Protein backbone atom coordinates (compact mmCIF):
# COMPACT_ATOMS: atom_id res chain seq x y z
CA UNK A 1 0.00 0.00 0.00
CA UNK A 2 1.26 3.49 -0.80
CA UNK A 3 0.02 6.91 0.13
CA UNK A 4 0.34 9.80 -2.29
CA UNK A 5 2.39 11.64 0.31
CA UNK A 6 3.96 10.82 3.66
CA UNK A 7 1.86 11.69 6.71
CA UNK A 8 3.75 11.80 10.01
CA UNK A 9 2.42 11.12 13.50
CA UNK A 10 2.71 14.00 16.00
CA UNK A 11 1.59 14.61 19.59
CA UNK A 12 0.40 18.00 20.82
CA UNK A 13 -1.03 19.40 24.06
CA UNK A 14 -3.99 21.79 24.29
CA UNK A 15 -5.95 23.26 27.19
CA UNK A 16 -9.66 22.39 27.31
CA UNK A 17 -10.81 25.58 25.57
CA UNK A 18 -8.69 24.80 22.50
CA UNK A 19 -9.60 21.12 22.76
CA UNK A 20 -13.31 21.91 22.73
CA UNK A 21 -12.90 24.00 19.59
CA UNK A 22 -10.90 21.22 17.91
CA UNK A 23 -13.43 18.63 19.06
CA UNK A 24 -16.36 20.67 17.76
CA UNK A 25 -14.62 20.94 14.38
CA UNK A 26 -13.84 17.22 14.48
CA UNK A 27 -17.48 16.35 15.21
CA UNK A 28 -18.53 18.04 12.00
CA UNK A 29 -15.76 16.76 9.73
CA UNK A 30 -14.25 13.49 10.90
CA UNK A 31 -15.38 12.06 14.24
CA UNK A 32 -12.54 9.92 15.60
CA UNK A 33 -11.42 10.11 19.18
CA UNK A 34 -9.78 7.66 21.56
CA UNK A 35 -9.33 8.01 25.29
CA UNK A 36 -12.04 10.69 25.41
CA UNK A 37 -15.79 10.85 25.48
CA UNK A 38 -17.53 13.93 24.07
CA UNK A 39 -21.12 14.83 24.89
CA UNK A 40 -22.53 17.46 22.56
CA UNK A 41 -25.69 19.19 21.42
CA UNK A 42 -26.42 21.04 18.20
CA UNK A 43 -27.27 24.68 17.76
CA UNK A 44 -28.58 24.69 14.22
CA UNK A 45 -25.85 23.04 12.18
CA UNK A 46 -23.12 23.72 14.76
CA UNK A 47 -21.98 21.01 17.17
CA UNK A 48 -21.27 22.34 20.67
CA UNK A 49 -19.33 20.20 23.15
CA UNK A 50 -21.08 20.17 26.55
CA UNK A 51 -18.75 17.81 28.42
CA UNK A 52 -15.43 16.30 27.49
CA UNK A 53 -14.16 13.48 29.71
CA UNK A 54 -11.05 11.34 29.85
CA UNK A 55 -12.01 7.72 29.18
CA UNK A 56 -8.80 5.69 29.52
CA UNK A 57 -10.72 2.39 29.66
CA UNK A 58 -13.17 3.33 26.92
CA UNK A 59 -16.54 5.03 27.21
CA UNK A 60 -17.93 2.19 29.35
CA UNK A 61 -15.26 2.77 32.03
CA UNK A 62 -14.65 5.56 34.49
CA UNK A 63 -15.10 9.02 32.97
CA UNK A 64 -13.16 11.98 34.39
CA UNK A 65 -14.48 15.37 33.24
CA UNK A 66 -11.88 17.72 31.76
CA UNK A 67 -11.97 21.22 33.24
CA UNK A 68 -11.31 24.51 31.39
CA UNK A 69 -7.68 24.73 32.60
CA UNK A 70 -6.86 21.02 32.11
CA UNK A 71 -4.39 20.00 29.45
CA UNK A 72 -5.30 17.29 26.95
CA UNK A 73 -2.76 15.41 24.81
CA UNK A 74 -3.68 14.62 21.21
CA UNK A 75 -1.95 12.33 18.77
CA UNK A 76 -2.71 13.43 15.25
CA UNK A 77 -0.82 13.95 12.01
CA UNK A 78 1.49 16.70 10.81
CA UNK A 79 -1.07 18.02 8.31
CA UNK A 80 -3.64 18.71 11.03
CA UNK A 81 -0.96 20.06 13.40
CA UNK A 82 -0.34 22.90 10.94
CA UNK A 83 -4.07 23.73 10.74
CA UNK A 84 -4.98 21.52 7.78
CA UNK A 85 -8.71 21.04 7.10
CA UNK A 86 -9.49 23.91 9.47
CA UNK A 87 -8.09 22.33 12.65
CA UNK A 88 -6.46 25.62 13.61
CA UNK A 89 -6.52 25.03 17.41
CA UNK A 90 -3.72 22.49 16.94
CA UNK A 91 -1.45 25.33 15.77
CA UNK A 92 -1.71 26.77 19.31
CA UNK A 93 -0.65 23.50 20.93
CA UNK A 94 2.30 23.09 23.27
CA UNK A 95 4.87 20.38 23.97
CA UNK A 96 4.77 19.17 20.37
CA UNK A 97 6.54 15.87 19.69
CA UNK A 98 7.34 14.86 16.13
CA UNK A 99 9.05 11.46 16.29
CA UNK A 100 9.07 11.06 12.50
CA UNK A 101 6.93 7.91 12.45
CA UNK A 102 4.80 7.50 9.34
CA UNK A 103 1.05 7.14 9.92
CA UNK A 104 0.83 4.26 7.45
CA UNK A 105 3.60 2.32 9.19
CA UNK A 106 2.18 2.96 12.67
CA UNK A 107 -1.26 1.77 11.49
CA UNK A 108 0.17 -1.40 9.91
CA UNK A 109 2.13 -2.18 13.09
CA UNK A 110 -0.96 -1.70 15.26
CA UNK A 111 -3.20 -3.88 13.11
CA UNK A 112 -0.53 -6.58 12.90
CA UNK A 113 -0.10 -6.61 16.68
CA UNK A 114 -3.84 -6.44 17.49
CA UNK A 115 -5.54 -8.52 14.79
CA UNK A 116 -8.26 -9.22 14.35
CA UNK A 117 -9.44 -5.64 14.66
CA UNK A 118 -13.19 -5.29 15.18
CA UNK A 119 -15.00 -2.16 14.12
CA UNK A 120 -18.05 -0.80 15.84
CA UNK A 121 -19.69 2.18 17.46
CA UNK A 122 -18.23 2.58 20.95
CA UNK A 123 -20.12 5.60 22.28
CA UNK A 124 -17.15 7.97 22.38
CA UNK A 125 -19.19 10.78 20.82
CA UNK A 126 -22.72 11.08 22.20
CA UNK A 127 -25.52 13.58 21.89
CA UNK A 128 -26.47 15.24 25.22
Count: domains in the chain: 1
Q: How many CB atoms lie within 10 A of CB 83?
A: 13
Spatial CA neighbour of 10 closest among 65, 105, 79: 79
Please indicate, yes or no, if residue 94 is contained in any of the structural domains. yes
Please indicate, yes or no, if residue 103 is contained in any of the structural domains. yes
Query: In Å, what is the CA distance from 28 to each residue of 16, 23, 118?
Result: 18, 9, 24
Q: How far apart are the first and last CA of the chain?
A: 40
The overall pTM is greater than 0.75: no
Chain mean pLDDT for the chain: 81
**106 membership: H or E segment, kind and range:** helix 103-114
Please indicate, yes or no, if residue 1 is contained in any of the structural domains. no
Domain assignment of residue 108, given as a range: 9-127
Angle in degrees, CA 100, 101, 106, rounded to 5:
170
Please indicate, yes or no, if residue 113 is contained in any of the structural domains. yes
pLDDT band at 96 (very low <50, low <70, confident <90, very high): very high
pLDDT in tens, 3-59: 566 788 888 887 776 666 666 666 555 446 778 888 888 888 877 888 888 988 888
Please indicate, yes or no, if residue 2 is contained in any of the structural domains. no
- The CATH number linked to 29 is 3.90.780.10
Please indicate, yes or no, if residue 104 is contained in any of the structural domains. yes
Amino acid sequence: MRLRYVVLVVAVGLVWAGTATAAERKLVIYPQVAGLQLAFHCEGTTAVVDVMSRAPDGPGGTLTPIGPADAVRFVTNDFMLTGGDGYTPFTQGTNVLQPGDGLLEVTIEYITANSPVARGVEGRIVRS
